[in-house]
Amino acid sequence: MAEVPPDPLIGKVLNGRFTVLEPLGVGGMGKVYKALQSPLDRMVALKVLNPKYSGTKDPGFERRFFLEAAMTAKLHHPNTITVHDYGRTDDGIYFIAMEYVEGETLQARLARDVTLPWPKALHIGGQIARSLREAHKAGMIHRDLKPANVMLLQDETDSEMVKVLDFGLVKSLLPDGPLSPTDTELTQAGVLLGSPLYMAPEQARNEADARSDIYALGVLLYQTIGGKPPFTGKESIDIIVKHIREKPAQLKSVVIELPVEVNALVMKCLEKEPANRFQSMDELLEGMRVAGANAGLSGAFSDPRSMVYRTPSSQAIKVVSQSMLMTPPDLTRAERPSGAVEVPWEDTGAVAQKKNGRKIAFAAAGAAIAVVLLLGGLLVLRKEPPLPPGPAPVAIKPPPPPKIARPVEPVGEAPPPPIAFVVSSSPAGASVTRSGIVLGVTPLSFTLPPGADRSASAELTLALEGYQSITLTAQGTGPEVVVKQTLAKLKRPTVKKNSHPPGYKDDPYQ
């Protein structure tokens, strides 16, 4: 067995400040090391990008790296990993120094426990949503939310605190001027497109906004509660096709005892059309609060910044008012109803007798009572014959409203839906060009409107360094046209040894 060569960065000091101590992990963009920052003596997680992501291979990379790193460093939410520093060394190493935390990722937790109770899943999901809310309001989307990018920590109250990682891979939503054909994504391997298991349908077309993160969070909640993501497959392209085409099974069919409110919350996040999902993290957080309250966990997911004060109902106000006005003065304080307020008995206008036997009378009230009694007696003594019954009232029905004839609108046939073209290659990473425009790299998908015959076609050119380029025509009636192409390696020309042109002689004098 061959020995693994030592890591050349271990022990190296980057930019005179960061001493690399040991590796912590490896990802698609590079490695993460534990490092000591001088002169602060602060432990940091140092992310060193893979050398293949350099300005020589992608001229726009360095500009985008520094722009997005500067924006990411402005995020300060408690549930977001803090970026301390970033830069480029003299020998061309790009790095990001982040907050060093000790805990375990949600991926490691699910690998051990498989599932979590839905209240804990919503508790974790709510913290993720608050982290992403700050990023979205700053004009950034994450696009790679997955359990491996969610760190779980224990805080002072023994409650798990979430830290969302890898904001260094965000895509900016802020306008940055026109892009050149080579100035597309950070990588040609599709890292920024997201992970297929958690990818929103529109991300496969390289169209993403804040609602794409809501879809990914819905997939994460589905897996955390149900034990697996809604879609799985052997190949990445198969999973992407399912995200675009198939409807996920109801989470309640996987977890029977799940409250219907929580099931509806997760399934709304997983809507295919972004317009049918929650439109912002604020909406999603309110949905979590309502679902938790309806399921019997009132206040468990409240956010102090989104709490609404609720006034007492009119019936409650009425009961309190009656208790305030009907408290007799001869009750002791212990006998009075809870919350009753003392009102001077004289203010009620009634006649009362105090315990000392002294009587207080109000002349006006007494005179009024006497007049009422006198008139009542006269009415009783006076006997008059009853009046003859009058004719019974006749109910007059109002005329019916006039009927308004409404024009009947012709019902036309709904336009056919667009046809999705799903393109993959072996090996992956081939650029796909249509009509002179680079659509991206495989695997990818795009849509075209159908023609009069309900079909669509596209002439595509697949190119990959070291392989023969191929141009093909994909056509079909949908709803999807799947294109799988195996690329052939370029054959290097062979030069025969001792081969000479005709008429060649070693000794021209012979």
pLDDT tens by residue, 336-370: 444 443 333 333 333 333 344 444 334 444 544 54
What whole-number distance in Å separates Cα of residue 95 and Cα of residue 197?
27
Indicate whether 258 pLDDT > 90. yes
- Return the CATH number of the domain spanning residue range 419-486: 2.60.40
What average pLDDT does this structure show over 251-256?
95
| CB 128 within 8 Å of CB 162 | yes
Indicate whether 277 pLDDT > 50. yes
- Structure confidence by residue, pLDDT tens digits, 177-196: 433 333 333 333 334 356 89
| CB 149 within 8 Å of CB 163 | no
- Average pLDDT taken over every residue of the chain: 75
What whole-number distance in Å separates Cα of residue 171 and Cα of residue 184?
11
Q: Per the structure block, which two tokens stand in for 2?
A: 């061959």
| CB 217 within 8 Å of CB 129 | yes
Most confident of the ranges 198-212, 320-334, 384-398, 399-413: 198-212
What whole-number distance in Å separates Cα of residue 33 and Cα of residue 10?
9
Q: What is the pLDDT of residue 354?
A: 38
Residue tagged 């900016």 (tokens): 172
pLDDT higher at 107 or 510: 107
pLDDT higher at 385 or 272: 272
Where in the chain are all domains bearing CATH 1.10.510.10? 104-306
Q: What is the pLDDT of residue 202?
A: 93
What average pLDDT does this structure show over 219-248?
94
Beta pairing, strands 150-154 & 470-476: unpaired
Indicate whether 169 pLDDT > 60. no
pLDDT higher at 310 or 413: 413
What average pLDDT does this structure show over 88-102?
89
Please state which of the ranges 364-373, 398-407, 428-437 shows the lowest mean pLDDT. 364-373
Where in the chain are all domains bearing CATH 3.30.200.20? 13-99
- Structure confidence by residue, pLDDT tens digits, 294-350: 887 755 454 444 333 333 333 333 333 333 333 333 434 444 444 443 333 333 333
Please state which of the ranges 102-106, 122-126, 203-207, 326-330 shows the lowest mean pLDDT. 326-330
CATH architecture designation of domain 13-99: 2-Layer Sandwich (3.30)
pTM flag (> 0.85):
no
Express as a percent the part of the chain with pLDDT over 70: 64
- Structure confidence by residue, pLDDT tens digits, 28-40: 667 899 999 999 9
The backbone region for 454, taken as left when phi is positive above 0, alpha when psi lies in -120 to 50, beta otherwise, is left
The Cα-based distances of 454 to 49, 148, 237 in angstroms read 47, 42, 25
What average pLDDT does this structure show over 60-66?
75
Catalytic annotation, residues: 144
Give the Cβ contact number of residue 368 at 10 Å. Answer: 11
| CB 476 within 8 Å of CB 442 | no
- Count how many residues are written for the chain: 510
Task: Give the chain's count of helices (H) and strands (E).
Answer: 10, 18
Q: What is the pLDDT of residue 228?
A: 95
What whole-number distance in Å separates Cα of residue 426 and Cα of residue 445?
16
Where in the chain are all domains bearing CATH 2.60.40? 419-486
Express as a percent the part of the chain with pLDDT over 90: 35
What average pLDDT does this structure show over 125-143?
93
Out of 1.10.3720.10, 3.40.720.10, 2.30.110.10, 1.10.510.10, select the CATH number for domain 104-306. 1.10.510.10
Q: What is the pLDDT of residue 19?
A: 95
